[in-house]
Amino acid sequence: MQIAVCIKQVVTREAQLRIDEGRAWIRDQDASYEMNEPDAYALEEALRLRERHGGDVVACSAGPARVGQLLREALARGADRAIHVEGDDLARADALTVAGALAGPLREAGVDLVLTGLQSDDQGFGQVGVILAELLGLPSATIIMDVEVSDGAARVKRELENGWFQWVALPLPALLTIQSGINQLRYATLKGIMAAKKKEIRKVAPPAPPDTRQRITGLRVPERAKQTHFLEGTPAETARELVRRLREDARVLRED
């Protein structure tokens, strides 16, 4: 079985972010990067499916040159080969643009199953997977917590609201968006890191011009502000004033 996994490089959660001169993105040179957490679980699930059913795992990513390091990490964890759609603007691109950049190489690869993370840790739209499925003409299911494959079909467990789950059957090829926590992550071994140096990363140019439907016009750092008010008077007066402020200023209370 041929499995493709779409992974994204995101800024580490501990990074101190600074806005660039154009006020529309962060300063890349000041940030450190890591694999998007839901995508790491998607990669792990692909590796486990390969162990059970055989085949190859192809790691795919779209972004600037630094994404090559991310793909090397995926290869070190066990992916067989990688595809890098290289473009400087793809790091900040919208979901439709990223999905469009990945669709061509995945269509050529002729995979049986495409896995993506549920959403990215940076923009968090959760749209690349479902748009990619539409572009590839594949059936899809989201928020997946378990995957079973047999006889050319997949049976998957979807996480719903309030602790409910849903089992869905899909014919292959199909696309699934994986929820964090579906499995226990493995990490690259020294043997895997050495083997990754010999594995192929195929570079692909993004389609031009990109089909962009949205763009970031500006970023700003959240402003932190607080005010302290001391209430004076008798306990009854203080209580009445506190209730008034909670109702009229903070608006966390309402009239019954």
pLDDT digits (tens, 9 = 90+) for 199-215: 999 999 988 776 677 88
Q: Are 41 and 117 in contact (CB under 8 A)?
A: yes
Which residues are bridge partners to 17 per DSSP? none
Q: What pLDDT is recorded for position 13?
A: 83
Q: What pLDDT is recorded for position 101?
A: 94
Choose between 161 and 114: higher pLDDT. 114
Domain boundaries, the chain: 2-204, 226-256
Q: Are 86 and 93 in contact (CB under 8 A)?
A: no
Backbone angles phi and psi of 203, in degrees to 5: -90, 135
Choose between 15 and 96: higher pLDDT. 96
| Architecture of domain 2-204 in this structure | 3-Layer(aba) Sandwich (3.40)
Mean pLDDT (the chain, rounded): 91
Report whether pLDDT(253) > 90.
no
Report whether pLDDT(44) > 80.
yes
Q: What pLDDT is recorded for position 248?
A: 85
Distance CA 177, CA 42 (A): 8
Tokens of 111: 């995979």
pTM above threshold 0.85: no
The three state secondary structure string of the chain is: CEEEEECCEEECCCCCCCECCCCCCECHHHCCEEECHHHHHHHHHHHHHHHHHCCEEEEEEEECCCHHHHHHHHHHHCCCEEEEEECHHHHHCCHHHHHHHHHHHHHHHCCCEEEEECCCCCCCCCCHHHHHHHHHCCCEEEEEEEEEEECCEEEEEEECHHHCEEEEEEECCEEEEECCCCCCCCCCCHHHHHHHCCCCEEEECCCCCCCCCCCCCCCCCCCCCCCCCCCCCCHHHHHHHHHHHHHHCCCCCCCC
Report whether pLDDT(66) > 90.
yes
Confidence bin at 245 (pLDDT 50/70/90) = confident
CA end-to-end span of the chain, whole Å?
A: 62
Report whether pLDDT(227) > 80.
no
Contacts of 233 (CB under 8 A, 6+ apart): 241
Q: What pLDDT is recorded for position 256?
A: 62
Q: For 69-126, what is each residue's pLDDT tens digit?
A: 999 999 999 999 999 999 988 888 899 999 999 999 999 999 999 999 999 998 888 9
Q: What pLDDT is recorded for position 28?
A: 77
Q: For 164-197, what is each residue's pLDDT tens digit?
A: 999 999 999 999 999 999 999 998 999 999 999 9
Q: What percent of the chain has pLDDT over 90?
A: 65
Q: Which of 13, 11, 6 is nearest to 28 (CA)?
A: 11
Q: What pLDDT is recorded for position 221?
A: 79
Q: Which of 71, 80, 81, 74 is nearest to 51 (CA)?
A: 80
Q: What pLDDT is recorded for position 117?
A: 96
Specify the residue for token string 């964890």. Answer: 77
Q: What pLDDT is recorded for position 252?
A: 80
β pairing state of 153-159 and 81-86: unpaired
Cα–Cα distances (Å) from 142 to 25, 99, 145, in that order, read 29, 16, 9
Q: How many CB atoms lie within 10 A of CB 79?
A: 27
| Choice among 27-41, 54-68, 125-139, 168-182 with the minimum mean pLDDT | 27-41
Q: Are 148 and 166 in contact (CB under 8 A)?
A: no
Q: What pLDDT is recorded for position 199?
A: 94
Confidence bin at 222 (pLDDT 50/70/90) = confident
